[in-house]
Homo-oligomer: A and B are copies of this chain.
């Protein structure tokens, strides 16, 4: 007899015998599970069955209570087409972990609404999209090879696009053979495939803190142990790596060395070399999330993969930040030994990325249109970045700090004055018509509460100025309400990164 059934029967007996009286509160599932040394889900299944059979009733957020009833409950199949299957109890450990982590952030997942100036999503600006040019590219490829592009397609991707990417990556210093360049559904899928190919439950993964929440989720789904590595004003604190490697024996390091999300900072070249040297010595795999627009010719953002001579780095790239996020076309430059496993997993994950959009992207990229688009958006996002930085200087009270983003970045991270909390402030900010992403999303452990991300790429300069003004009002008002002098952080203090 399963344990949950034993529990259920036991509670039924206690109710039938009058030991548990109507409206008595049953122990919390967590407490009972701990007392019985059982999984909490087992207890939850028993409670659900008690509710389904009329022995008890549940109130969300309050608990489960003995039902107020006289007659014994009729057998469920007749009276209720009761769901016999408790899907909640059937969830995998990975799914439960993801739900638990989502619950921790409940109420902080804000959606933009018409009246609100939204610094929420690290998205490009759709008004700068070359939509019409892309439509023409799409028509061209459908007319020329529509039937073939709408069939099943080899999992590694559309060959002309892979060949084009190989050359394009080569111009950014990344030498890769065509077989090593794999098309994926945006870099998010690349992350998930890497996690599935390399991580067993309990394996340690080093991540910059703060970092991109989608990476945290992909590694959490593989049941990794996430080990945060702090960041300094110039990005990842490479000096901390050797001790962390010794202590945790991580399988890999996930990082965004260029235009880091959320802070926007980029790792200096010498630190990149130092990072690779440590990785080589420690046999540490490095996942480089190559976020940001490509910086043609400038050495400042030479990708780690271009500097790697030991096959340590898996590089991820995406068109989401240059062209359109909605294409869901990205790529991975994989070490040769990972190509086969990654393709096997990609195949069972979704067979292949649709070839039609891959072909349209390839067509679009002819005549260096991708580079032109990258230049265009970089110039415009540069103006927005400048407007945000000077707005923050002007509007935020002393005690606030922020990171200074790289030219390829889409966002920066603000740290509120001491005593303020970005989650607490959010409802007031929304009332005042400004939205941001609280820091809780970007920190493994939730962070110190003062951090918030401002994504600026999608907002025109006047909206940025207006938004920062509103944010400044909200922050100053919250400070006044605290009726305490703010503790200004000295000019030499590190920004919260």
Residues of A within 8 A of B (CB): 4, 29-30, 38-45, 47-48, 52, 58, 60-61, 76, 81-88, 90-95, 98-99, 102, 121, 123, 126-127, 129, 131-132, 134-135, 138-139, 142-143, 146-153, 173, 184-186, 188-189, 191-192, 196-200, 214, 217-218, 220-222, 238-239, 251, 268-270, 272-274, 277-278, 280, 283-285, 298-302, 307, 309-312, 320, 324-328, 335, 337-338, 340-341, 344-345, 347-357
Determine whether the beta carbon of A98 is less than 8 Å from that of B348: yes
Which residue in B121, B220, B310 is a CB contact (below 8 Å) of A84?
B310
Q: How far is the CB of A318 from chain B (nearest CB, A)?
A: 10
The distance in angstroms between the C-alpha atoms of A277 and B153, with both chains bound, is: 40
How far is B310's CA from A86's CA once the two chains are assembled, in angstroms? 11
Q: Which residues of B contact A52 (CB under 8 A)?
A: 309
Interface of A is mostly: helix
Tell me whether A189 and B350 are in contact in the complex, defined as CB-CB below 8 angstroms, given that A93-B200, A344-B95 are known contacts.
Answer: yes
Q: Out of B123, B152, B197, which one reaches A152, CB within 8 Å?
A: B123
For A142, give the chain B residue with the smallest CB separation.
B135
Measured CB to CB, the nearest residue on chain B to A89 is B337
Residues of B within 8 Å of A152, CB to CB, are 121, 123, 320, 325-326
Question: When A221-B345, A283-B84, A354-B357 are in contact, do A325 and B150 touch as well, CB less than 8 Å?
Answer: yes
Best-buried of A85, A149, A222, A284 by chain B (most CB within 10 Å)? A85
For A96, the closest partner residue in chain B by CB is B341
Q: A92-B197, A92-B200 are in contact. Are A312 and B84 (CB under 8 A)?
A: yes
A-B contact pairs, 17 of them (CB 8 A): A40-B270, A44-B272, A44-B302, A60-B278, A76-B309, A81-B310, A85-B284, A90-B251, A92-B199, A94-B196, A98-B344, A150-B325, A152-B320, A186-B350, A214-B351, A220-B348, A326-B355
Evaluate whether A310 and B356 lie within 8 angstroms (CB atoms) in the complex, with A92-B198, A188-B348 already known: no
Identical subunits present: 2
**Which 7 interchain pairs have the tightest Cβ spacing?**
A41-B299, A150-B324, A87-B337, A126-B147, A39-B299, A41-B269, A44-B269
CB neighbours of A83 from chain B (8 A) = 310-311, 335
Closest to A272 in B: B44
Q: Which chain B residues lie closer than 8 Å to A354 at the CB level?
A: 326-328, 354, 357
By beta carbon, the residue of chain B nearest A353 is: B328
Minimum Cβ distance to chain B for residue A158 (Å): 10
Are A29 and B285 within 8 A (Cβ)? Answer: no
A97 (CB) vs chain B CBs: closest residue:
B344
Q: Answer whether A188 and B269 are a contact pair too, CB < 8 Å, given A39-B299, A285-B90.
A: no
A192 and B326 in contact (CB under 8 A), knowing A147-B127, A185-B185, A302-B41?
no
**Are A348 and B91 neighbours in the complex by a CB distance under 8 Å?**
no
Which residue of chain B is the closest to A123 with respect to CB atoms? B152
- Other than the given A84-B283, A85-B283, 18 more pairs (CB < 8 A) read A42-B299, A48-B273, A85-B310, A92-B196, A95-B344, A95-B345, A98-B345, A129-B147, A131-B150, A150-B327, A151-B325, A185-B350, A189-B349, A192-B349, A192-B350, A221-B348, A354-B354, A356-B357
Residue in B99, B123, B189, B280 whose CB lies within 8 Å of A340: B99
Tell me whether B312 and A85 are in contact (CB under 8 A). yes
Q: A129-B146, A354-B357, A357-B357 are in contact. Are A151 and B135 (CB under 8 A)?
A: no
Are A150 and B129 in touch, CB under 8 angstroms?
yes
Query: Known contacts A98-B345, A98-B348: does B129 contact A138 (CB below 8 Å)?
Result: no
Q: State how many angstroms separate the Cβ of A103 from the closest Cβ of chain B.
A: 10
Is A338 a contact partner of B87 (Cβ separation < 8 A)?
A: yes
| A93 contacts across to B, CB distance below 8 A | 200
Complex: how many Å from CA A352 to CA B350?
A: 13
Interfacial chain B residues near A285, Cβ < 8 Å? 85, 87, 90
Determine the chain B residues whose CB is within 8 A of the CB of A95 once the complex forms: 196-198, 341, 344-345
Most chain B CB atoms below 10 A, which of A126, A302, A348:
A348
Cα A243 to Cα B345 in complex, Å, equals 33
